[in-house]
Chains A and B, each alone.
Chain A
Amino acid sequence: MLETPANLLATLPPNTLQIAGTWVAALLTLATLSYVFGGNPAFRLAEHLLVGIAAGYAAALAWNQMLWPRLQLLVAEPATYWYYGVFFVLGLLLLCRGSKSVSVLGNLPLGVLFGTGAALALGGGLTGTFIPQIRASVLSVNPADYGEGSLGWAYVIDPIIVVAGTIAALTAFHFGARTDGRLRALWRGLVRAVGGVGRGLITICFGALFASAALSFFAILNSRLVFLLRDWLKLLYTGRP
């Protein structure tokens, strides 16, 4: 029998590949976590593997999912799918960017790419973010619109805080030269006070963002520790994943 890789794999005990995969993943996890002791060759290896495999996988996916099926259609029915030929030519022209002498030919597909992308992004930004968000910002400050009693007032305070907070945060970025005059001194004091409130709000905002990011990274760390203890060492959580 011809010893092909498939035949060799068939002779291995069941779950061998899965066990090997778990071991590789566990060792790479440990290599990545070793960064806690500073940069080292194991961490570098894991880092390079991640980047290289991700790039190779993306390239294979683009070929299998996008290019090859459309190329087959173009070859089989050129009269129907002629427009794929245009896109392939544009794609090939993009490769001209690699050579200085013919790089000008790459401007055409880049122009199409950026032009289409910018037009769609602009249109989508207007209809999907700009107008709906402005519409959502127009809120009533009448407690009766939200309900009876203190609940209505609570809903009114919320948009007021949003508007006042936005103004205060913008004022925090106001920088002006020192000028004379009582009125100007009063104005400067007001700007300083409101700007201080704005700086406080910005600090709270950054704190909340940092806490969210920390929670996100802790979730990733937790998942890796669970993997090491449960899937690799079989110590914990013997139930299903």
Chain B
Amino acid sequence: MIVCAACNHRNPSDALVCEACGGSLEHFVYRACPSCGALNPAENVFCHRCFDDLVPGSAETIVEASDIPVESFVPSEPSVTDREEAVREAAAPTVGERPTSDLTLEADAEVATTAEVVSEETEPGPLAEPQQLVGEPIERLEAAPSEPEAPMQPSELIPEAEEDVLEGLEGLVPIAAAATQAHAFALPVPPSVSETEQHDAELFHSIASERGPLRDAARVVIPRRARLLSRRGRALLYLLVLLAALTPVFTGDRTSLLLRPRDSVTSLARDIQSLPTGSAVLISFDYGPAYAGEVDPLALAVGRHLAASQVRVVAMSTDPGGVGLAEHLYRTIAGEMPDYRYGESYAILGYLPGPEAGLRTLCTSLGKAFKVDYVQRRTLSELPVMKDLTSVQDFDQVIVFADDSRSVRSWIEQVQSQCNFSLHALVTAAIEPMLLPYQQSGQLSTLIAAAHSAGEYEKASGMEEPSLHWTDAYGAFCLVLLVTAIATNVAYLRTRARQRSHGQ
């Protein structure tokens, strides 16, 4: 395969001109890098891959014709350094021992060309400028004798025509000095790459950079009318959702008064109400700030109810973000109730890592799981609220607020199945369907979606109802969702029916 230097088109190995641009492929010469084996054009001074110097020992770096399956392999324009090296070899007494491939023969011919130039210069300093040498045509190369030749005198091989080309060009361009200097880059040399690997890499590059038919097929032209409709529809949907969120401004919470708490919410409120004074409840805040907007109102409502019932509360979290949220909530509750003090009425144990091993330790010892509490950094035995509470089984109820179904599953699998206690899961609406089987099997005493339950819980527990204003917004949003679903489905069915009728 010959890559055209002008257009990068890959031509068959026997091509003389590029199939794509028509350019000549006559001067297709590669030079193998001595360090990494990459093939470089003959005029390159440094390897395109590893930046290694290609100049020293250039006689060895030129790839022999037998290594590359290119019949039209015409060496041409070897660099000045190559020629100088070749001249030195030609002048040496061991010239006759060199291999006798076509390329070396060609090099010998070139040696003869440059021998005179070098012989004229007695000083080894700056080399002569690059000289235009005409490469041998392929017919002449093939016709060249293949047996080893006797050492030749350089003067015997100097063509008359080429002497004129070199005349008067010495010292005009100091490129040879730059070519002989070591390159500044000192990049690590990659492992040697075989020619097959090099070819595979080039093939992969060409395939990867080609524009495939898939990319063209994926380009879908959407009509302007449909684009506008989509944009307007999206804007309308945003507006409706915004209006739904602002519904309480217009309704003044009047419709919220019609709210009736669901059975599960009423059941949880009744369970907490029935707890005697001094009972203990463990609450795990297993949600992060991203879902705090949904879960916080319900957590606040339950926390206020527990505080009003004078129940001891111990809070913890298996989510790093949940600890700060728990502290914020209980600071709010403590601000509303002066008798509700940290360490006596409630405590925040902190973050418990490890969904399996960490939670499993709660069955044996709270002290092993938490060395100190989160707020005052005291040992658990120093906190009055922790009196007689050594493991999770000592709590009357366990409530988990979660935004991830795996968290609740870990509680069920690692703690509840080992210790057997009453577990309530108050979760985001998004994960509630995933946990329904656990409620139906009786493993979860309560499963409540937090989104719209705060107002219901406040109503069921007979407390103040600051979260009630959320209810109107949820009602309006559900209405928007329903209308949108019906409208889009009707539009879809009509479009499909129209397309079918057109098709017929």
Contacts and interface: CB of A to CB of B under 8 A. Distances in A.
Interface string B242-276: 10111011000000000000000000000000000
Interface in A76-131: 116-117, 120-121, 124-125, 127-129
A69 interface: yes
A217 B450 CA distance: 12
A222 B320 CA distance: 24
A41 interface: no
Nearest to B371: A69
Interface in B391-445: 409-410, 412-414, 416-418, 428-430, 432-433, 437, 440-443
Interface residues of A, number: 47
A224 B323 CA distance: 21
A215 interface: yes
Interface in B273-323: 288-294, 296-297, 300, 320-321, 323
A173 interface: no
Contacts of A65: 350-351, 370, 372, 374
Interface stretch (B87-95, B129-137, B151-159, B467-475): B467-475
B357 A117 contact: yes
Most chain B Cβ neighbours within 10 Å, of A124, A127, A129: A124
A222 B478 CA distance: 13
B121 interface: no
B481 A129 contact: no
Interface in A35-58: 36, 54, 57-58
B440 A136 contact: yes
A129 B409 contact: yes
Nearest to B443: A132
A143 B329 CA distance: 48
Contacts of A241: 300, 332, 466
Given A225-B245, A241-B332, A58 B320 contact: yes
B360 interface: yes
A230 B324 CA distance: 22
A219 B324 contact: no
A124 B474 CA distance: 37
A143 B291 CA distance: 43
B482 to A, nearest CB: 9
Contacts of B443: 128, 132
A71 to B, nearest CB: 10
Contact of B430 (A58, A120, A212, A226): A212
A109 B351 CA distance: 22
Contact of A127 (B374, B417, B433, B450): B417
A211 interface: yes
Interface string A154-198: 000000000000000000000000000000000000000000000
A73 interface: yes
Contacts of B437: 133, 136
A212 B431 CA distance: 8
A224 B293 contact: yes
B12 interface: no
B271 to A, nearest CB: 21
Contact of A73 (B291, B324, B371, B449): B371
A133 B441 contact: yes
A220 B294 contact: yes
Q: Interface on chain A toward B: helix, strand, loop, or mixed SS?
A: helix
Contacts of B336: 240
B441 A215 contact: no
A239 B466 contact: yes
A223 interface: yes
Contacts of A127: 413, 417-418
A124 B289 CA distance: 28
A124 B410 contact: yes
B374 A124 contact: no
B401 to A, nearest CB: 14
A236 interface: yes
Contact of B320 (A57, A209, A239): A57
Contacts of A73: 371
Contacts of A240: 336, 464, 466
Interface of B: 238, 241-242, 244-246, 248-249, 288-294, 296-297, 300, 320-321, 323-324, 332, 336, 350-351, 353-354, 356-357, 360, 370-372, 374, 409-410, 412-414, 416-418, 428-430, 432-433, 437, 440-443, 449-452, 464, 466, 469-470, 473-474, 477-478, 481
28 contacts: A54-B288, A54-B321, A57-B324, A62-B320, A62-B351, A116-B357, A121-B413, A127-B418, A128-B413, A128-B443, A136-B440, A136-B441, A211-B481, A213-B430, A215-B451, A216-B291, A216-B451, A218-B474, A219-B294, A222-B245, A223-B293, A223-B296, A237-B248, A237-B466, A240-B464, A240-B466, A241-B332, A241-B466
Interface of A: 36, 54, 57-58, 61-62, 65-66, 69-70, 73, 116-117, 120-121, 124-125, 127-129, 132-133, 135-136, 208-209, 211-226, 236-237, 239-241
Which 10 pairs between the two chains have the least Cβ-Cβ distance? A223-B293, A128-B413, A124-B413, A136-B441, A128-B417, A120-B356, A219-B294, A69-B371, A216-B430, A58-B320
Given A116-B357, A216-B428, A219-B452, 9 more contacts: A54-B320, A57-B320, A57-B324, A62-B353, A69-B372, A116-B356, A120-B360, A127-B418, A218-B477
